[in-house]
């Protein structure tokens, strides 16, 4: 068997028991990269020293395994572009905290993955370096903005991957690529060294072949960081602890299946099926009635994200390390300008402040729901992956696609997407989104694991 | 929305042609965003941070571990001169 | 028509913390090799994040308290967005609507607010390039804004001297205008005498680097404004630069539109909330401030206003003086006289040593005239050649002879009076 198809858990097991060697592992991973990268355009930069670095990491928990990293994470000495021409040749002189923690735990950055430029999108089609193709069906998009990382996992071009989510950017590509995507609570993982998108919702997270793989990776990178003042002193549990706890006795709320945009779709049907599965496993499951309409979150997210990003991208002026503002792609220009507008004199109250007020309402709504439910489930994406070219002439593509995820992202809640259904005709997937209350990743991971084991896609 | 004015404020260079497409695009986006105004936000406070954290402060100590050498600081600079970053001459006073 | 100036001041003070405002780079940037004190945060690389310096915040609150301000129990940082090559993030982290201190007073000038922000990099103009050094980027900067209570160049100067003194007493900055650790900008306008409303314009003047120049710039501007108003014209609202060489202000390139800073709360920094225990704790750390110390010196040491003012001019000098007084060997009045008139180098001479020399010098009074006369006569008799040389015109020999006298007096005696007496006998 090809070792690149192993899960992270199995890889670590086999390395520990010396059933496989790092050389063998990297040989197979490198082969997969050589075979697929040109066609799928997953990696923007490949680390040719990976196996050498891996050998130095053998005795650590992650034992030198190859991890794909989204290209908005600064990696010292390794090109970091955020898929934009503005940073086409930028070589950071420092590591993001997530990267230094990954290395401390023994992981190796095998390459930097493609993404929507500046993470502005949900398709990876707006990368300045060409789209990534969905490994499940290369006529289709992988989703975004962590499309490259999700594709890397789906194509076994790595053992696990790191992504980031501002409003769906981990979970949506995971669902489109048929892999698992874990977005932790905002403040659980440090944003230091990650090119900022929307500062108040950006969350680095894990993308993996299984739920357990994501939990293992999250263990390596989570925790308060003195370099990021928004990280929480909340104690970090072992996220693999209680993996097999199951859902017996839990109360689970089902969201959005009756929403006009989803009624009668495969996505809705898949969630209804998932609800039945959880019931079988011992949970009490019922449809949620008092959840806020997710389409309004589109407005909140659009304004908050663009406002914050207009400011976050103001430092790219071609002086210290980048090519300057003429190199921004169309989407970036649009977002910066709109964000400048929504913060400008005479409009800030109408747009920015109002958006932040509606945000408060979503947070309140969720607290009310979590007073009643332990977990909330719903479709990750309204549908399957879309075809290449789908984003053309559609500036709001991402926001509409991520509608079901925006409410939890703007609230800072943790969520995980697990594959829930595969269409045999297209080989494309749907994902189940499970959302937990703040800091309750362990229980959402347990539910995701139970579901994953039952469904065995 | 005056696209030209915003582009100037945002320091985004745009062409005449882009001005047209951008204006159309903004109208479409603002239309989507319109639904926000149907929500009753009376008495609601805006949320600018979801963590609820307060007073996250740092002791006044020098931390050399992140400090760059001059070489590292300038390594990616498009233009440099004698240890400085360079821009075209700025005519007005600070 | 009579006019009166309406002037407010905006002062920036660089805090002398060890590290920068939002990162651990060294804060002391004076004369350092360019771009050797930067990091991903203050050089604004992707993913750089600010973490606020606790000491800078405490010192700002301290300054606010020293200026009689109210300390609101909730405060936060905000982003001030604008583009300039020396501003690496394209925004400055500052404070907008909830600053650390508000509504104080210093002398007869009300303080509107005191807030904390970060400094920019430094621009150096050379040939047809502008060079940028980011060592200064991120250094903590306190901004003090007064109400437009100032009515003359002299009053401005007085206020600034007092402010400088307070800042130095607190030990939070060296407030050196030449080094740029204290920067001043007056906002000047003029209105008819007796009017109670604020003028509809104001002119900001930059590039002033001494208190004297503040006075001159104000006086220049006031005259310029009055001249315009008498012609029926209103001075343009603008920023002008002080030209030291020509003693005038000149218009700086007029910006096409006023800056829209698009302030919004800094999402990367949690807000700050204090309780009264915390604020009182800082208040308790305040040293005795210049005005209070001056008053106490006059009362406790029976000094006149002039002497007391000089002795309390700097905290170091006032501390030194009181160290000497504590030793109890010399009266405060005598100490004051000595320190003020004899230009004692307080950095080199320990209080104990100073007091000892004063005591010795005073011992001159106990030498009787006869004793002094006898010693002088003896020395003259014992050194005929030196005396002869002196009479021939070699005046430098006098020093040697007086030294001999003092040797015999075993340290007693005041060289000046000995010299005078000696010259009577020679």
Q: What is the DSSP string of A227-270?
A: T-TTS--PPPP-TTTTGGG--TT-EEEE-STTSTTTTTSHHHHH
Q: A223 CB contacts (<8 Å, ≥6 apart)?
A: A101, A188, A189, A190, A231, A236
Burial (CB < 10 A; 0-12, 13-18, 19+), residue C129, is middle
- Let me know if residue A278 belongs to a domain: no
Residue A356 backbone class (left: φ over 0; alpha: ψ -120 to 50; beta: rest): alpha
Cross-chain residue pair A395–B25, CB shorter than 8 Å: yes
A69 occurs within a structural domain: yes
Distance, in Å, from the CA atom of C393 to the CA atom of C397, rounded to the nearest integer, reads: 9
How does residue C395 score in pLDDT terms, banded at 50, 70 and 90?
confident
Q: Is the dihedral of CA A55, A56, A59, A63 positive or negative?
A: negative
Give B34-89 as a DSSP string: GGGGGS--TTPPPPS-SS------B-S---GGGPBPHHHHHTT-SSEETTEEEEEP
Q: Residue C372 and residue C59: Cα distance in Å, rounded?
A: 58
How do residues A361-411 score in pLDDT, each as one tens digit?
999 999 999 999 999 999 999 999 999 999 887 777 877 789 999 999 999
Q: Do C23 and B11 touch (CB under 8 A)?
A: no
On chain A, the residues whose CB falls within 8 A of the CB of C43 are: 320
**Cα dihedral sign, C372-C377-C383-C386:** positive
- Convert C49-78 to b/e letters by CB count within 10 Å (16 or more is b): bbbbbebbbbbbbbbbbbbebebbeebbbb
Dihedral sign, Cα of residue C199, residue C203, residue C204, residue C206? negative
pLDDT at A349 over 60: yes
Task: Give backbone dihedrals phi and psi of A116, rounded to 5 degrees, phi first.
Answer: -65, 140
Cβ A55 vs Cβ A303: under 8 Å: no
Average pLDDT, stretch C388-411? Answer: 83
Name A163's Cβ contacts closer than 8 Å, sequence gap at least 6.
Answer: A70, A146, A149, A150, A169, A170, A173, A181, A204, A205, A206, A207
Q: What is the C-alpha separation between A205 and A112, in angstroms, rounded?
A: 15
At C6 the pLDDT is 97
Residue B78 CA to residue B75 CA, distance in Å, equals 9
- Percentage helix, strand, coil for chain C under 3-state DSSP, each rounded to 5: 40, 20, 40
When CB atoms are compared, the residue of B61, B63, B87 closest to C85 is B87
- What confidence score (pLDDT) does residue C319 get? 96
Check residue A106 and give its pLDDT: 98
Residues of chain C found within 8 Å of residue B73, distances taken between Cβ atoms:
35-36, 38, 43, 134
**Alpha carbon of residue A372 to chain centroid:** 27
pLDDT exceeds 60 at position B92: no
Reading the block at residue A33, the tokens are: 């990269």
- pLDDT value for A15: 97
A147 in contact with chain C, both atoms CB, cutoff 8 A: no
Q: What is the mean pLDDT of chain C?
A: 92
pLDDT computed for residue C372 by the predictor:
80
Domain ranges of chain C: 3-281, 288-353, 367-425
Contact B76 A319 (CB under 8 A): no
**Cross-chain residue pair C49–A229, CB shorter than 8 Å:** yes
Burial of C409 (0-12, 13-18, 19+ CB in 10 A): middle
Q: Quote the tokens at residue C94.
A: 């500052």
Q: How far from A289 is each of A361, A368, A372, A402, CA to CA, in Å?
A: 16, 12, 12, 21
The pLDDT, as a whole number, for residue C255 is: 54
pLDDT value of residue C360: 82
In a domain, A377, yes or no: no
Q: What is the CATH number of domain C288-353?
A: 1.10.150
Beta bridge partners of B56: none
Q: Is the pLDDT of residue C284 over 70?
A: yes
From C40, C89, C269, residue closest to A314, measured CB to CB: C89
Tell me the chain B residues in contact with residue C16 when contact means C-beta distances shorter than 8 Å.
none
Q: With CA atoms as reference, report the closest residue to C193 among C240, C229, C231, C242.
A: C229
Of C49, C83, C132, the CB nearest to A192: C49
Res. C89: pLDDT tops 80: yes
Which percentage of chain B shows pLDDT scores above 70? 96
pLDDT of residue C292: 95
Candidates B1, B5, B12: best to mutate against A (most CBs of A within 10 A) is B12
CA pair distance B32, A275, nearest whole angstrom: 32
Domain count, chain A: 1
pTM for the model: 0.91
Q: Does A345 touch chain C (CB under 8 A)?
A: yes
CB contact under 8 A, B53 and C270: yes
- Token output for A24: 């063998």
Residue B70 Cα, gap to closest chain C Cα (Å): 5
d(CA A85, CA A117): 9
The rounded percent of chain C whose pLDDT value lies above 70 is: 96
CATH number of C367-425: 1.10.10.410
Q: What is the pLDDT of residue B12?
A: 96
Could you tell me if C134 lies within 8 Å of chain B, comparing CB atoms? yes
> Of the given ranges (A94-108, A143-157, A208-222, C245-259), which has the lowest mean pLDDT?
C245-259
pLDDT band at B91 (very low <50, low <70, confident <90, very high): low
Q: What are phi and psi of A73, to 5 degrees?
A: -95, 125
Output the pLDDT for position C393: 84
Asked whether the beta carbons of A4 and A29 are under 8 A apart, the reply is yes
Q: With contact defined as beta carbons under 8 Å apart, do B54 and C270 qualify? A: yes
DSSP labels, A97-129 = HHHHHHHHTT-EEEEEE--SGGG--SSSTT-TT
Report the C-alpha gap between C162 and A242 in whole angstroms. 65
Tell me how crowded residue A115 is: count the other CB atoms within 10 A of its CB. 33
Q: Measuring CA to CA, which residue among A212, A160, A148 is closest to residue A5?
A: A160
Q: Which residues of A63-74 are buried (b: 16+ CB within 10 A; e: fewer)?
A: bbbbbbbbbbbb
The per-residue pLDDT for C410 is 75
Q: For all residues of chain A together, what is the average pLDDT?
A: 96
pLDDT digits (tens, 9 = 90+) for A131-185: 999 999 999 999 999 999 999 999 999 999 999 999 999 999 999 999 999 999 9
**Range in A112-121, A252-261, B84-93, C148-157 with the lowest mean pLDDT:** B84-93
β pairing state of C182-192 and C203-206? antiparallel
Show which subunits contact A, needing at least 3 CB pairs below 8 angstroms.
B, C
The three state secondary structure string of A363-426 is HHHHHHHHHHCCEEEEECCCCCCCECCCCCCCCCHHHHHCCCCHHHHHHCCCEEEEEEEEECCC
Tokens linked to C319: 């501390």
Contact between chains at C268 and A319 (C-beta distance less than 8 A): no
Whether the per-residue pLDDT at B1 is higher than 90: the answer is: no
Residue A351 has pLDDT above 50, yes or no: yes
The answer on pLDDT for C76 being more than 60 is: yes
Give every CB contact of residue C403 below 8 A, 6+ residues apart in sequence: none
Structure confidence by residue, pLDDT tens digits, C1-56: 899 999 999 999 999 999 999 999 999 999 999 999 999 999 999 999 999 999 99
DSSP state, residue C349: S
Query: What percent of chain A shows pLDDT beyond 70?
Result: 100
Provide the terminal-to-terminal Cα distance of chain C, rounded to the nearest Å. Answer: 72
CB contact under 8 A, B81 and C129: yes
Strand partners, A418: A432
Lowest mean pLDDT among B16-30, C67-81, C282-296, C399-413: C399-413
Are the beta carbons of A200 and B49 closer than 8 angstroms?
Answer: yes
Measured distance CA(C100)–CA(C17) in Å, rounded:
18
Alpha helix locations (H) across C302-396?
A: 305-311, 315-326, 332-341, 351-362, 369-382, 384-392
pLDDT of residue A2: 96
Facing C273 at nearest CB: one of B55, B63, B87: B55
Phi, psi values for residue A90, rounded to 5°:
-75, 125
Residues A120-125 have a mean pLDDT of 94
Predicted confidence band of residue C257 (pLDDT cuts 50, 70, 90):
low
Express each pLDDT in C113-131 by its tens digit: 999 999 999 999 988 899 9
Active site residues per annotation of A: 70, 145, 169
C129 touches chain B (CB under 8 A): yes
Task: Find, among C60, C154, C159, the residue nearest to C105 by Cα.
Answer: C159
pLDDT class of B94 with cuts at 50, 70, 90: very low
The pLDDT tens digits of the residues spanning A287-302 come to 998 999 999 999 999 9
CB-nearest to C90 from A74, A229, A315 is A315
- Nearest CA to CA, how far is C6 from chain B (Å)? 25
Region for B89 from its dihedrals, namely left if φ exceeds 0, alpha if ψ lies in -120 to 50, beta otherwise: beta
Give the span between the Cα atoms of C129 and C121, in whole angstroms.
16
Are B57 and C51 within 8 A, CB to CB?
yes
Which CATH number goes with the domain that contains A118? 3.90.1300.10
Cα–Cα distance between B78 and C5 in angstroms, integer?
49
pLDDT at A311 over 90: yes
A266 within a domain of the structure (yes/no): no
Q: pLDDT tens across B42-83, in order?
A: 999 999 999 999 999 999 999 999 999 999 999 999 999 999
Q: Between β-strands A415-423 and C122-126, what pairing exists: parallel, antiparallel or unpaired?
A: unpaired
Domain that holds residue A9: 3-243+414-455
Task: Please determine, for residue B93, whether its predicted confidence score (pLDDT) is greater than 60.
Answer: no
A35 within some domain: yes
- Residue B33 and residue A303: Cβ atoms within 8 Å? yes
> How much is the pLDDT for C411?
67
pLDDT class for C277, splitting at 50, 70, 90?
very high
Cα(A394)–Cα(A401) distance, integer angstroms: 11
């Amino acid at each position: 068997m090809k070792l690149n198809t192993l899960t992270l858990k199995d890889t670590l097991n086999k390395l520990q028991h010396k059933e496989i060697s790092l050389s063998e592992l990297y040989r197979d991973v490198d082969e997969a990269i050589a075979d697929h990268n040109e066609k799928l355009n997953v990696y923007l930069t490949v680390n040719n020293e990976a196996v050498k670095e891996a050998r130095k990491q053998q005795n650590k928990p992650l034992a030198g395994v190859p991890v794909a990293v989204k290209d908005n994470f600064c990696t010292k000495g390794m090109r970091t572009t955020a898929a934009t021409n503005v940073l086409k040749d930028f070589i950071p002189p420092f590591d993001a905290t997530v990267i230094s923690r990954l290395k401390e735990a023994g992981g190796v950055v095998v390459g930097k993955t493609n993404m929507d430029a500046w993470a502005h999108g949900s398709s990876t089609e707006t990368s300045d370096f060409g789209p990534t193709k969905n490994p499940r069906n290369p006529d289709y998009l992988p989703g975004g903005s962590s499309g490259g990382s999700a594709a890397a996992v789906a194509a076994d071009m790595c053992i696990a991957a790191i992504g980031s989510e501002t409003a769906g950017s981990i979970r949506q590509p995971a669902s489109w690529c048929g892999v698992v995507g874990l977005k932790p609570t905002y403040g659980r993982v440090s944003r230091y060294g990650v090119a900022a998108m929307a500062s108040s919702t950006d969350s680095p997270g894990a993308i993996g072949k299984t739920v357990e793989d994501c939990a293992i990776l999250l263990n390596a990178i989570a925790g308060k960081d003195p370099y990021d003042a928004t990280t929480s002193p909340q104690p970090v549990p072992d996220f693999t602890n209680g993996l097999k706890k199951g859902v017996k006795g839990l109360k689970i709320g089902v969201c959005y299946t009756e929403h006009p945009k989803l009624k009668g779709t495969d996505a809705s049907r898949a969630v209804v099926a998932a609800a039945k599965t959880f019931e079988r496993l011992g949970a009490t499951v019922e449809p949620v009635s008092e959840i806020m309409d997710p389409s309004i979150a589109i407005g909140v997210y659009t304004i908050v994200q663009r406002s914050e990003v207009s400011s976050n991208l103001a430092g790219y002026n071609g002086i210290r390390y980048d090519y300057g503002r003429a190199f921004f792609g169309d989407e970036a220009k649009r977002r910066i300008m709109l964000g400048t507008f929504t913060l400008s004199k005479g409009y800030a109250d109408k747009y920015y402040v109002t958006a932040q007020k509606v945000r408060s309402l979503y947070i309140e709504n969720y607290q009310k729901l979590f007073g009643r439910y332990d977990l909330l489930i719903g479709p990750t994406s309204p549908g399957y992956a879309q075809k290449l070219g789908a984003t053309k002439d559609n500036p709001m593509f991402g926001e509409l696609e991520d509608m079901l995820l925006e409410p939890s992202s703007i609230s800072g809640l943790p969520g995980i997407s697990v594959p829930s259904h595969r269409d045999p005709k297209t080989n494309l997937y749907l994902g189940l989104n499970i959302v937990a209350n703040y800091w309750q990743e362990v229980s959402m991971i347990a539910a995701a694991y139970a579901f994953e084991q039952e469904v065995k896609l | 929305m005056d696209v030209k004015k915003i582009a100037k404020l945002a320091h985004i260079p745009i062409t005449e042609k882009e001005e047209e497409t951008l204006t159309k695009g903004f109208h479409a986006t603002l239309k989507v965003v319109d639904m926000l105004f149907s929500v009753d936000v009376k008495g609601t406070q805006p949320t600018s941070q979801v963590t609820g954290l307060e007073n996250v402060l740092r002791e006044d100590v020098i931390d050399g571990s992140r400090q760059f050498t001059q070489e590292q600081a300038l390594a990616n600079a498009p233009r440099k001169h004698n240890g400085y970053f360079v821009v075209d001459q700025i005519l007005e006073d600070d | 028509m009579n006019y009166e100036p309406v002037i407010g001041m905006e002062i920036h003070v660089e805090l002398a913390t060890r590290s920068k405002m939002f990162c651990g780079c060294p804060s002391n940037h004076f004369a350092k090799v360019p771009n050797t004190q930067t990091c991903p945060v203050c050089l604004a690389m992707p993913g750089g994040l600010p973490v606020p310096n606790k000491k800078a915040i405490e010192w700002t609150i301290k300054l606010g308290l020293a200026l009689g301000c109210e300390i609101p129990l909730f405060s936060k940082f905000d982003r001030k967005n604008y583009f300039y090559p020396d501003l690496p993030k394209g925004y400055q982290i500052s404070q907008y609507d909830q600053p650390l201190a508000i509504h104080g007073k210093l002398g007869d000038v009300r303080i509107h607010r005191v807030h904390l922000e970060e400094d920019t990099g430094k621009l150096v103009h050379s040939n047809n390039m502008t060079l940028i050094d980011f060592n200064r980027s991120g250094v903590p900067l306190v901004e003090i804004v007064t109400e437009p209570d100032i009515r003359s160049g002299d009053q401005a100067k007085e206020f600034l001297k007092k402010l400088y003194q307070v800042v130095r007493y607190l030990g939070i900055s060296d407030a050196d205008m030449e080094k740029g650790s204290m920067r001043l900008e007056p906002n000047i306008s003029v209105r008819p005498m007796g009017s109670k409303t604020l003028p509809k314009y104001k002119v900001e003047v930059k590039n002033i680097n001494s208190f004297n120049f503040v006075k001159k710039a104000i006086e220049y501007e006031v005259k310029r404004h009055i001249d315009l108003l008498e012609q029926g014209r209103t001075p343009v609202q603008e920023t002008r630069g002080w030209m030291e060489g020509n003693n005038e202000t000149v218009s700086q390139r007029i910006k096409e539109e006023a800056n829209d800073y698009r302030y919004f709360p800094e999402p990367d920094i949690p807000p700050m909330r204090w309780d009264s225990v915390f604020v009182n704790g800082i208040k308790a750390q305040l040293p005795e401030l210049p005005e209070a110390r001056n008053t106490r010196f006059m009362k406790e040491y029976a000094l006149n206003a002039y002497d007391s003012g000089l002795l309390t001019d700097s905290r170091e000098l006032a501390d030194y003086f009181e160290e000497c007084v504590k030793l109890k060997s010399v009266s405060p009045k005598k100490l004051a006289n000595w320190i003020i008139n004899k230009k004692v180098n307080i950095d080199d001479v320990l209080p104990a040593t100073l007091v000892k020399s004063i005591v010795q010098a005073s011992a001159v009074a106990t030498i009787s005239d006869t004793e002094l006369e006898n010693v002088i006569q003896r020395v003259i008799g014992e050194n005929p050649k030196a005396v002869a040389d002196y009479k021939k015109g070699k005046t430098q020999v006098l020093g040697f002879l007086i030294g001999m006298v003092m040797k015999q007096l075993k340290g007693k005696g005041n060289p000046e009076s000995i010299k005078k007496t000696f010259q009577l006998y020679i």
